[in-house]
Structure formats: structure tokens, C-alpha cells
Amino acid sequence: MQVFYNIHELKLKLAEFAFLDKTIGFVPTMGALHDGHVSLINFSKKQCDITVCSIFVNPTQFNNSEDLAHYPKTPENDILLLTNAGCDFLYMPSVDDIYPTDFHRTFHFGYLETILEGSSRAGHFNGVGQVVSILFDGVKPHKAFFGSKDYQQVMVVKALVKQLNLPIEIVSCPILRESDGLAMSSRNMRLNVQERKVAALIPKLMNEVIGMIELLDIEEAKKWMKHQIENEPLMTLDYFEICDAESLHELKEYDSTVSTVLLIAVFVGKIRLIDNLLIS
Ligand code: AMP
């Protein structure tokens, strides 16, 4: 695997493959890689000739400076994982390489930026739009692979591609989980032993909600979840919503004919974790 730190050098290299009509698959990440990330690389390798991964902790998508400062960084391990996964190229830019000037574009995603991650993390999706648009411009992928763990982000990136009229297919990939059900996340490595144990409650409680969703009404299910989380001293609920999986509009009542998604954000100690479950 060849590692690039400069976008112009990466562009020159990828132009060789575009010239040969090779398809380029792209997996943008913030590093501290785990098997969830590797699964995206595997999807790309199956569907494209060349796979490019990027590792960049994008400051403009963080609204919490402490979260940004403590975001885990494991570059040596990341390079090893990507090499073993058969990734072709890695782009590891500096902030200056991505943002050579202080001028940043502003993106609007309408309703999508007013709910869930959008309302809890002011400016987050604008930052995602900024970095993804710059990375797409550099890599010019045919397909880009994103995890459905960041459910709303996939919708935002699809909206971005439409807004910019880019010929890029956005592929949404399944969530990889630890053996106790916790969704893999780079932030999991910041949990202490006790917090890590408690975090497994997140998928467990969501599965319990699915089991009772036809019996309880949606408001009751949400109250039940809030109560369960409040009962656990190490956890604080940010949000738990039950939404139409296509539009992300909140559902007032459960309808088994409507594709439904449960979305949650929880602080475990100081670490904010997100997860979701789709009921098709
Ligand atoms: P991140 O490095 O957290 O920004 O994630 C980079 C990409 O990996 C995003 O598209 C995430 O949705 C995806 N991802 C993160 N965790 C998982 C997981 N547990 N399973 C599948 N994809 C994931």
C-alpha cells in the first residue's frame, strides 16, 4: 500500500488508473481503525479495481474541542490493518493539505441537519460536507463506501452528491458489532473497563424495544428507553428516536409496513456513542 500525504501527488497517481478505465472505490475515515472500517475496505475491493482509504480527523465537523483533542490516533496500527486488508492507497493529509486557506464552503442539508446528530452537534454536517466534498474532488471515486452506523451521515452524503451533481455512487454498508453487540467504534477505545461493560446495554435495550414495539406505542417505548438509561449511573441519554427509515421523520405510531429505524446517542461516562437498528 502506498501512503500519500499530499493531494496533488495522490491525484497524479489516481489519474493513471482513471486513464486505464479502472474503477476507484473510496473509504473515508478518521483513523483508529477497527474491523468495521476494514469491512468497508472489503466491500470496496469486491466492487472496484482500486481502493483508496483516507484518514483525517476533520476539525470542522467537531463541535466539542475536548472530543477533537482526545480523538484516538493509532497510525501505525491503521497502516498495518489497511495493508493486510489489501487497500491500495492511503491518503493521510494534514489540516493544511485539506484546508489550504481559512475559506470554507457552507453546506445546507435542510431538515436533515435539524434533527438527531444535526441538532445535537451544531455545524457537524456542514463540516462533513466540507471534508467529504474536498476528498471526493481529490479522489474522484466511482463509488464511496460508508457505514450505516452513521445512518444520518449516509443520508447527508447522498444529499451532498446530489447537490454537487457528482457521478459517485454512495454505498451504505452494514454495522459491524463486537461479540456483546456493541457497535464497533474508534471511540470505544476511550471507554474504561466499567464503561465498556455498560456500553453493551445500548444494542441490548434497542433490541428489547424492537421486541415490544408492536405492543407499546412509540411514546411509551421512548419513555421506557429513557428510564432504562437513567437507571444506569454511567449513562446519559442524548436522544432516542424512532423514525421513518427513508425520511428520518419521527413516527408517531409504529406501522409494520413502514421501514423504521431506531436511533440512539448515549454518553457513557464522557464518551458519546451512537447506534441504530433498522426494522425493515
Ligand atoms: P469514522 O472513522 O468513525 O469516521 O468512520 C469511517 C467510516 O467507517 C464511516 O463511514 C463509518 O460509518 C464507518 N464505520 C464506523 N464504525 C463502523 C462499524 N461498526 N461498522 C461499519 N462501518 C463503520
Q: Residue 214 C-alpha to ligand 1 middle, in angstroms?
A: 30
d(CA 201, CA 180): 9
The model's pLDDT over 7-55, given as tens digits with 9 standing for 90+, comes to 999 999 999 999 999 999 999 999 999 999 999 999 999 999 999 999 9
Whether residue 241 contacts residue 151, with contact meaning beta carbons closer than 8 Å, is answered with no
Q: Is 37 a catalytic residue?
A: yes
The model's pLDDT over 104-155, given as tens digits with 9 standing for 90+, comes to 999 999 999 999 999 999 999 999 999 999 999 999 999 999 999 999 999 9
Residue 258 has pLDDT above 90, yes or no: yes
State the fold for domain 186-275: Pantoate--beta-alanine Ligase; Chain: A,domain 2 (3.30.1300)
d(CA 125, CA 106): 10
The model's pLDDT over 192-202, given as tens digits with 9 standing for 90+, comes to 999 999 999 99
Count the Cβ atoms, other than its own, within 10 Å of residue 219.
Answer: 11
Whether residue 104 contacts residue 222, with contact meaning beta carbons closer than 8 Å, is answered with no
SS (H, E, C) the chain: CEEECCHHHHHHHHHHHHHCCCCEEEEEECCCCCHHHHHHHHHHHHHCCEEEEEECCCHHHCCCHHHHHCCCCCHHHHHHHHHHHCCCEEECCCHHHHCCCCCCCCCCCHHHHHCCHHHHCCCHHHHHHHHHHHHHHHHCCCEEEEEHHHHHHHHHHHHHHHHCCCCCEEEEECCCECCCCCECCHHHHHCCHHHHHHHCHHHHHHHHHHHHCCCCCHHHHHHHHHHHHHCCCCEEEEEEEEEECCCCCECCCCCCCCCEEEEEEEEECCEEEEEEEEEC
Chain CA centroid to CA 1, Å: 24
Any atom of ligand 1 within 6 Å of the Cβ of 188: no
pTM over 0.85: yes
- Choosing from 29, 92, 156 the residue with most ligand 1 atoms within 8 A of its CB, the one to mutate for a pocket test is 29
Any atom of ligand 1 within 6 Å of the Cβ of 185: yes
The model's pLDDT over 235-244, given as tens digits with 9 standing for 90+, comes to 999 999 999 9
- Choosing from 33, 35, 37 the residue with most ligand 1 atoms within 8 A of its CB, the one to mutate for a pocket test is 37
Task: Tell me what percent of the residues of the chain surpass a pLDDT of 70.
Answer: 100
Kindly report the protein residue whose alpha carbon is nearest to atom 10 of ligand 1. Answer: 146
Which pLDDT belongs to residue 215?
Answer: 84
Catalytic residue among 8, 34, 37, 142: 37
Residue 163 CB-half CA count within 13 A: 15
State the fold for domain 2-173: Rossmann fold (3.40.50)
Q: Residue 280 C-alpha to ligand 1 middle, in angstroms?
A: 21
Count the Cβ atoms, other than its own, within 10 Å of residue 150.
Answer: 18
The ranges assigned to domains in the chain are: 2-173, 186-275
**What integer is the mean pLDDT of 175-187?**
98
Grid cell for residue 210 = 424492537
**What is the band of 216 on the pLDDT scale with cuts at 50, 70, 90?**
confident
- Choosing from 149, 177, 189 the residue with most ligand 1 atoms within 8 A of its CB, the one to mutate for a pocket test is 149
